[in-house]
Amino acid sequence: METVQPGMVVVIKPGELVPVDGVIVQGSSNVSQADLTGEPMPVRKIAGMGLLSGSVNLDGILEVRASKPSSESKYAQIVRLVAEAQEQKAPIHRLADRYSIVFTLLTLVLATAAWLMSGNLVYALAVLVVATPCPLILATPIAIMSGINIAARHGIIVKSGSAIEQLGEVDIAVFDKTGTLTLGMPKVTSILLATEGQRNSLYTEDEILRYAASVEQLSTHILATAIVNAGQERHVTLYTANGFEETFGKGVCATITTSQPEEPHSQSDPKRCTAIAVGNRTFMRMLDIPLPTYFLEERERRRALGQICSFVALNGTIEAIIIMEDVPRPEIRQLCPKLKHEGIKQTILLTGDSEMVAQQIGQLANIDRIIARCLPEDKVRVVQELEARGHKVLMVGDGINDAPALATATVGMALGTQGLTAAANAADTVLLSTSILGVDTAVFLGRRVMRIARQGIWIGMGLSGLAMIFAALGYIPPAAGAILQEGIDVLVIFNALRVSTIHIKKDR
C-alpha cells in the first residue's frame, strides 16, 4: 500500500482492513470502526462518505479514492504514536540495580576499614569473600522467572522481567471500554413486542426470535450473528427459510413454511407460509411496511443509549423489535474492588464512545473517573499526565486505538483473545484469558513476586552485612567466609523459589 497515492481508487472487499484514508466513490457497506474510535456498533457507509484506514469492511464491496498517502493515514499516525511512545518511555530502574550501588559501597568501606584498623590485609579479604552479591544476582531473577511461569499457566503472557516488577508497583489502572470492559460485539438484550392493539397475532418473544433467527442464519452480518446466537441460547429450533434475499447493511427477508399453525385454535390449513423481514427502518420502508409511531419512538430512545434495533415484520406487519448492544462483561462489577484491595488507588475509563454509554459502563464497573470521546492521542496524553505526577500506570486495552497508550503506560496490558494485534505488540503483557479478572490476577501476582524478591534481597544483604562486620573484626577467616557465603546464597535461592507456591484462587 506504500504505492497508493492521493486520487487512486482502491477496491476493498468484505472482511478486509481499510488500508488508506479516503472517500467512497462506489458501493455501500457496514464498517467496523471499533478499533479506531471505540464505537462498538458497525457504521453504515455509502458513496460520498469518508473512510478511515484501520476500519474493517464488513459486508459490501467498496471503491475508495485515496485522499492521503498511506504514510499519512490514520493507521500510520497511530503506528507512529506507538513508536514515539516506546522511544520516549522512561528507563526502568530494576530492583537489583537500586541496591547494588549501596551494597558495593558498603563492602568497599568495610573492607578498607578492616585493613586500616587491623593492619591485616586478610581481614579485608575476608570481608570481600563474605560480601556475596548473590542476593542481588539471584533473588530477583529467580522470583521473577517463577512468577512469569505462574502467570503463563493462568493465561497471562508477561514479556519481560521488568514488566512483572512494574506490576508490583502500579497504583493507577486505566481501562478502555469496547472489547475490554465490554464483550466488543453486539448481543441481543431484549425483544420488545407490539402492543395488543398493534398485533395481528399474539406472538411470544421466543416465536419472534425463532422466525428472525431462521432468516438471519443465512446472513453473515454481525447483527445476524447476534440474533442467531440469541436463538441458540434460548434453544429455539430454527425453520428452513426459502427465497432468501439480503440488502447489504439494511436487512433480510424470506418466507417460511410451517407444518402447523402458530395460533392454538386456528382452523387454517396446517401448511402455513409466513413472509419474514428483519432489518432497519430504511429496509422496512423499502418494503412498504408501515412503521408504528410507538416503535419509532422506542428506536430513538434506544439509540440514545447506544443500543441498536432490528425491526421484525411478519406478513407485512411490524410485530417486534430486537434490541442489541455491546454488553458489559459479567465480571466487571468484581474487578475494581479487587484491584483496590491490591493497592490500586484509582481506576479510570478512557473511551472513544459517547458520554452516556461511558457513564453506564463506568458506573456499573465502579470506575472512579470516566473520560469519553477520547482519540488515541488523548489517551496517551492522560497517561503521560498521570506519570508526570509520579504515578505508576497500568493501561488495559485491546484495539488499535489503545496501542499508543499501552506503549506509553508503565505497564501496558492487551487483551489477546482475538489473536496477536497491534495492541498486543505494543503491550508489555497479554491477557489470553476470556475473563477481565485476569488483570487483578496479574497485579496480585506482581505484588507477591516482588514482595518475595525484596525479602530475599533484605535477608541476603542483612546476613552478608552481619558476616562482613564479623569478618572485619577477625572472627571469620576467608575459608569459613566462603562456606558461609554459599550458605547465604542457598538460603536466598530457597526463599525465591517460594514464588512457586503462590496460590491463585479460581475466582480471580
Share of the chain above pLDDT 90, in %: 46
Do 373 and 474 fall into the same domain? yes
CATH of the domain at 292: 3.40.1110.10
Instruction: Centre a 10 Å sphere on the Cβ of residue 264 and count the other Cβ atoms it contains.
Output: 6
Domain's final residue, options 327, 342, 359: 327
Residues in Cβ contact with 391 at an 8 Å cutoff, skipping those fewer than 6 apart:
171, 172
Taking alpha carbons only, the member of 448, 508, 443 closest to residue 170 is 443
pLDDT number for residue 196: 60
pLDDT(93) > 80: no
The answer to whether residue 4 sits within a structural domain is no
Do 382 and 468 fall into the same domain? yes
pLDDT number for residue 40: 67
The answer to whether residue 385 sits within a structural domain is yes
Do 138 and 198 fall into the same domain? no
How far from 244 is each of 64, 276, 284, 318, CA to CA, in Å?
29, 10, 16, 19
- pLDDT (average), residues 338-365: 93
Pairing state between β 62-66 and 272-279: unpaired
The answer to whether residue 308 sits within a structural domain is yes
Do 448 and 393 fall into the same domain? yes
Domain's final residue, options 281, 307, 327: 327
pLDDT(303) > 90: no
- The string of pLDDT tens digits covering residues 148-192 is 999 999 999 999 888 999 999 999 999 999 889 998 889 999 999
Do 114 and 131 fall into the same domain? yes
Measure the CA–CA gap between 439 and 448, rounded to whole angstroms. Answer: 14
Domain that holds residue 458: 95-181+332-500
How is residue 25 written as a grid cell? 466513490
CATH of the domain at 13: 2.70.150.10
Do 484 and 344 fall into the same domain? yes
The answer to whether residue 260 sits within a structural domain is yes
Nearest-5° angle of CA 291, CA 296, CA 299?
A: 130
pLDDT number for residue 265: 47
- The string of pLDDT tens digits covering residues 17-32 is 888 899 999 998 888 8
Residue 176 annotated as catalytic: yes
Q: Where residue 92 falls among pLDDT bands split at 50, 70, 90?
A: very low
CATH of the domain at 135: 3.40.50.1000
pLDDT number for residue 85: 61
The answer to whether residue 77 sits within a structural domain is no
- Which has more confidence, 340 or 43? 340
* Highest averaged pLDDT of the listed ranges 40-49, 72-81, 227-236, 242-251: 227-236
Taking alpha carbons only, the member of 383, 384, 369, 385 closest to residue 336 is 369
The answer to whether residue 78 sits within a structural domain is no
Strand arrangement of the beta sheet that strand 56-57 belongs to: 43-45, 29-32, 56-57
pLDDT(387) > 60: yes
The answer to whether residue 214 sits within a structural domain is yes
Domain's final residue, options 327, 357, 372: 327
pLDDT(261) > 60: no
Do 336 and 476 fall into the same domain? yes
Do 232 and 375 fall into the same domain? no
Domains contained in the chain, number: 3
Do 365 and 493 fall into the same domain? yes
Q: Where residue 344 falls among pLDDT bands split at 50, 70, 90?
A: very high
Do 175 and 297 fall into the same domain? no
Residues in Cβ contact with 154 at an 8 Å cutoff, skipping those fewer than 6 apart:
433, 438, 441, 445, 504
- pLDDT (average), residues 462-481: 86
- Which has more confidence, 451 or 100? 451
| DSSP summary character for residue 70 | G
Question: Which among 21, 176, 326, 489 is annotated as catalytic?
Answer: 176
Average pLDDT of the chain, as a whole number: 86
pLDDT number for residue 332: 94
Do 373 and 236 fall into the same domain? no
- pLDDT (average), residues 231-259: 91
Measure the CA–CA gap between 463 and 455, rounded to whole angstroms. Answer: 12
**Cβ-count burial of 245 within 10 angstroms (0-12 exposed, 13-18 middle, 19+ buried)?**
exposed
The answer to whether residue 296 sits within a structural domain is yes
Do 363 and 390 fall into the same domain? yes
